[in-house]
Amino acid sequence: MIGYKLLLVEDEASLAHLVSIQLKTYGHKVKVATNTTEARDSICNEEFDLILLDWMLPDENGVDFLRWMKSSSDLDIKTKPVIFVTALTTPVHIIQALELGADDYVTKPFEESVLVARINAVMRRSQKKNSGAFYKPDKSGFLNVGDLKLDPKAFEVYLKDERLNLTRSEFLLLKHLMSELGCVLTRETLISKVQGTEINVTGRTVDTHIFGLRKKLKEYSHVIETIRGVGYRFNSPVSTSSTNSATLNPTTESSIGSATDTSVD
């Protein structure tokens, strides 16, 4: 069991205590900060693997705290993985958090096993990125992920050496998703990448292109993950698995609720 050192920024004492106990049973070390002032002090003076951040806090909201982290001159603070854990469930809030740089978004009430799975998934992506395991173009400039190879200059994509017949929009979507391996790209971001001077692209159009792209990727279709209400993420073929969760009664000791499903298609 891999244990991580986590900073839980949560002002509700009873929930913070329960989450801490649950996470510790999975081998994690947890420190609680009840506001962003305490969180800043902890981050600046201690090492943490990941931050669990509430949105609604007494001295400053979680979004402003995340902005502070992402604008920090300290590279360790700037690149620290962050998962929002909040009662705010609207797509507007989820999109805002992800576009500011949050790595995931879990809504209250949630099931502790789902939160642990999200922590492990974010840490796997973070460790791969820090170790250089995320894709970087090879000497020929190709994007290579498993058996999938994309040539940005020739506008060609090969799956197991078989050339795929993609439309311009499908190619551009795949290119940008592969280039941001493991990162969530909102529909708005993808629209800006695909939009041409004479092409009108909407969120629904992006969904249609993704549907067609998945069909052409055949057994690799699962590498494009839908983040419901937000956008899409391209995953490494070796780390694509979905987790189904059931909502439990938050009053039971073994449950902290159930997470909003932001990652299953």
Distance, CA of 117 to CA of 26 (rounded, Å): 11
Query: Is position 239 within any domain?
Result: no
Least reliable range by pLDDT among 45-54, 74-83, 193-202, 217-226: 193-202
Residue 76: pLDDT band with limits 50, 70, 90: confident
Domain that holds residue 93: 5-130
Do 159 and 66 reside in the same domain of the chain?
Answer: no
Distance, CA of 153 to CA of 110 (rounded, Å): 45
Mean pLDDT, residues 53-59: 96
Do 160 and 111 reside in the same domain of the chain?
Answer: no
Q: What is the three-state SS of the chain?
A: CCCCEEEEECCCHHHHHHHHHHHHCCCCEEEEECCHHHHHHHHHHCCCCEEEECCCCCCCCHHHHHHHHHCCCCHHHHCCCEEEEECCCCHHHHHHHHHHCCCEEEECCECHHHHHHHHHHHHHHHHHHHCCCCCCCCCCCCEEECCEEEECCCCEEEECCEEECCCHHHHHHHHHHHHCCCCEEEHHHHHHHHCCCCCCCCHHHHHHHHHHHHHHHHHHHHHEEEECCCEEEECCHHHCCCCCCCCCCCCCCCCCECCCCCCCC
Per-residue pLDDT at 107: 94
Q: Please report, for the domain that includes residue 170, its CATH number.
A: 1.10.10.10
Do 79 and 168 reside in the same domain of the chain?
Answer: no
Radius of gyration for the chain, computed over Cα atoms and rounded to the nearest angstrom: 19
Q: Please give the model's pTM, rounded to 2 decimal places.
A: 0.60
Residue 263: pLDDT band with limits 50, 70, 90: very low
Per-residue pLDDT at 140: 66
Query: Is position 25 within any domain?
Result: yes
Q: Lay out the sheet containing 162-164: strands in order across.
A: 143-145, 148-151, 156-159, 162-164
Do 122 and 189 reside in the same domain of the chain?
Answer: no
Q: Work out how many domains the chain is built from and give that number.
A: 2
Residue 116 identity (one-letter amino acid): V
Residues 6+ apart with CB under 8 A from 241: none
Q: Say if residue 101's pLDDT is above 80.
A: yes
Q: Which residue, chain included where needed, has tokens 């947890």?
A: 30
Q: Which percentage of the chain shows pLDDT scores above 90?
A: 52
Q: Please report, for the domain that includes residue 47, its CATH number.
A: 3.40.50.2300
Q: What is the mean pLDDT of the chain?
A: 82
Residue 157: pLDDT band with limits 50, 70, 90: very high
Do 118 and 153 reside in the same domain of the chain?
Answer: no
Per-residue pLDDT at 9: 98
